[in-house]
């Protein structure tokens, strides 16, 4: 109980300090400009090849940041881990491919980095709340022919 009270007092003291100094919590957690630039460069490298993206270790070496620091930076700048961002980019790319036309689902799943179509279908359904097939059908209902 004493530990919890101590932690609460620390939080109150931090909040008071921020209020007195006029800082926000976001400013307190802000990244240095050079680090933000490195993380943005890592983002570009990560999403440049959805089929075969670099590992977190490879990214961290290329941008000269530790893996943990890089992943924390992704969360601060983009709101998700590096590979959460990769998953989202893959699924958004797949959604756009479904909207463009008659590319087979298996080919779309491979293009966006899924080796197994079933894994792709599960991820797509979880992310968008609808299966890729149903999503594609819903697009056809909106056409004048459909």
The CATH number of the domain holding residue 113 is 1.10.10.60
- Cα 89–chain centre separation: 7
Supply the pTM of this predicted model: 0.73
Cβ–Cβ under 8 Å, residues 73 and 64: no
Q: 74 in a domain, yes or no?
A: no
Expressed as residue numbers, the domain containing 133 is: 86-141
Q: 56 in a domain, yes or no?
A: no
Q: 12 in a domain, yes or no?
A: no
Per-residue confidence (pLDDT) for residue 22, from 0 to 100: 61
Q: 136 in a domain, yes or no?
A: yes
Encoding tokens for residue 48?
A: 């440049």
pLDDT of the chain, 146 residues: tens digit per residue = 777 777 777 777 766 666 666 655 455 457 888 899 999 999 999 999 999 999 999 999 999 999 999 999 999 988 999 999 999 999 999 999 999 887 899 999 999 999 999 999 999 999 999 999 999 988 876 545 54
Q: 38 in a domain, yes or no?
A: no
Q: 137 in a domain, yes or no?
A: yes
- Total domains, the chain: 1
Per-residue confidence (pLDDT) for residue 12, from 0 to 100: 78
Could you give the angle at which helices 82-100 and 132-141 cross, rounded to 10 degrees?
A: 40
């Amino acid at each position: 109980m004493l530990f919890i009270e101590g932690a609460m007092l620390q939080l109150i003291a931090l909040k008071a300090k921020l209020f007195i100094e006029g800082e926000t919590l976001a400013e307190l957690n802000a990244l240095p400009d050079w680090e933000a630039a490195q993380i943005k460069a890592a983002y570009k490298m990560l999403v440049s090849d959805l089929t075969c993206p670099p590992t977190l270790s490879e990214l961290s070496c290329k941008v000269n940041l530790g893996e943990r620091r890089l992943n924390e930076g992704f969360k601060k700048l983009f709101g998700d881990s590096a590979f959460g961002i990769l998953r989202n980019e893959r699924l958004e790319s797949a959604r756009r491919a479904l909207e463009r036309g008659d590319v087979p689902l298996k080919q779309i799943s491979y293009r966006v980095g899924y080796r197994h179509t079933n894994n792709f279908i599960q991820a797509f359904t979880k992310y968008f709340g609808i299966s890729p097939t149903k999503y594609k059908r819903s697009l056809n209902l909106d056409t004048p022919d459909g």
